[in-house]
Chains A and B, each alone.
Chain A
Amino acid sequence: MALPDTSKYQYDVGQAAVIFADYGGFIRAVIHSQVKNEAQADDMFQDFFLSLVCKPVPQNVKNIKGYLYKAITNDIIDSARRVERYRNYMHKYRKRLDSPINKRTPEDAFIFVEETNKMFELIKGRLRNNEFQAITLRYKNQYSIKNVAVRMGVKCKSVREYTSRGLKKIRQSLKLK
């Protein structure tokens, strides 16, 4: 496999090292002014070295400190966005994990699904359409009230009313039997 021309990389690494040697204290101070966590600040300091290797300070820049300040601030904003995005992913993932997981054996799971379907077929004729839809989404599909409301295109309050009324009707019909 042919290796890439590394001379440009070497030059950029050297330039980044020169900038760090001359403005190391300034770089650290700017990072510390924006990042309070010591460990995170150390990470940012080293990240910024790599950032300068990837994108060296242009030759025509006169105010190097001004340029460095903007580059560091941009890096910190980027990093904060990345962390936020990662947190959101984790939040979504946790939500997914929170939804019911089929912990039954395949046979039991199949029987459970069949029984649930039968039960919902039975109650279908006893409830109004809205009530049936709300109960199905809430208790069969295990959606949150907010999610049910979005899917039905109604307010959360209405969903609560539909499910409460539906459940009352089901209880009454079971009592009669």
Chain B
Amino acid sequence: MIAPNHNSLCGEAKLYYYDFLHDESRELIPEFIVNHVEQCQYCQERIDQLKVVLSRTDDIETEQGQVSAAITTMLELHFAYIGKRVTCKTVRPFLPGLLDPALEIRIPTPITAHLDNCPQCAEDLETIRGLNLNRKQLCRFSQFLAEKPGDDRVGCSQARAAMLAVALMAFRETNSAVLKHLCTCPNCRKALYQYRESVRADLLHCEKAPKEFPCKEVSATDIFDYTLPYGIDPMADQYVKFRESLTSHLSGCPVCLAKIQELHIDINFDTVIVPFIAPSPRVVSQSIIFHLD
């Protein structure tokens, strides 16, 4: 046996450790490497370790496998823009996903390269970060930002009929398609904003003090789903009963409704989806091309 010397053949032998585990690839290993490994305790231990690690691969294919798959999908989506012009509009749907710690992109991609060079997009990212949304909300928000208006079959009249139920946060009285339409149709979204505003005005005139509720503690995470009910399926929501006290307060409290309206504007950015609120003007849309070399 020879003592491990990382500067000598062990470094070269490292490249063939996997081949030592498979008979069919053994013949591809240079003879001097075979001779070295046969005498080197360090290399043999490493090969044994590799064998153990690889044998566990199949067992690990659970949560970590799902995260790896999600990261791969994200990387694929990011690198789909290699050599293409990346504008603010391209980057916007990626922003919420970048805030998911499990899906953190750790290498430069066309999207992150744009973000590094575009103060407006960086500001938008910080706005979303400030909302402290959970993973599901980030995911739905991402899908919403990627949505093109007019992609659904629900008519505006059908959506308007459900406006009261949505403003009162009684999503069970409507369905996911209507909720989606209310988020993606510029006119309906505008109408929903105005409807909520009129409800709030009535509540202010009414001067009926709402029951004691820690309104200050109501966060953006709590009201996000009611502000942007995109992708929510009311029929599949098992936890609706647990939120009844919250929703009954939110729909009757002018302070909380004001928060919802504020969030409505905050998550607006300057997307074409909700053009009725004048956004801060973007003088030039940053356009950056990412090359592999």
Contact = CB atoms under 8 A, between A and B. Distances in A.
A5 B73 CA distance: 23
A3 B80 contact: no
B73 A17 contact: yes
B53 A32 contact: yes
Interface in B93-142: 104-107
B72 A21 contact: yes
Interface in A10-57: 10, 13-14, 16-17, 20-21, 24-26, 28-30, 32-33, 42-43, 45-47, 49-50, 53-54
B289 interface: yes
Contact of B75 (A43, A46, A66): A46
B289 A3 contact: yes
Contacts, number: 105
A46 B71 contact: yes
Contact of A10 (B60, B64, B80, B289): B80
A45 B292 CA distance: 18
Interface residues of A, number: 37
Nearest to A70: B15
A53 B110 CA distance: 13
- Tier of interface size on chain B: 35 or more
B279 interface: no
Given A21-B72, A24-B72, A28-B60, A13 B80 contact: yes
A29 B49 CA distance: 11
Given A29-B56, A53-B292, A20 B83 contact: no
Contacts of B49: 33
Given A24-B69, A46-B71, A46-B107, A73 B14 contact: yes
B85 to A, nearest CB: 7
Interface of A: 3-6, 9-10, 13-14, 16-17, 20-21, 24-26, 28-30, 32-33, 42-43, 45-47, 49-50, 53-54, 63, 65-66, 69-70, 73-74, 77
Top 4 nearest A-B pairs (CB, nearest first) are A69-B18, A17-B76, A20-B72, A6-B83
16 contacts: A3-B84, A3-B289, A6-B83, A10-B82, A17-B75, A20-B68, A25-B65, A26-B54, A28-B57, A45-B71, A46-B105, A49-B107, A50-B107, A63-B22, A66-B25, A69-B18
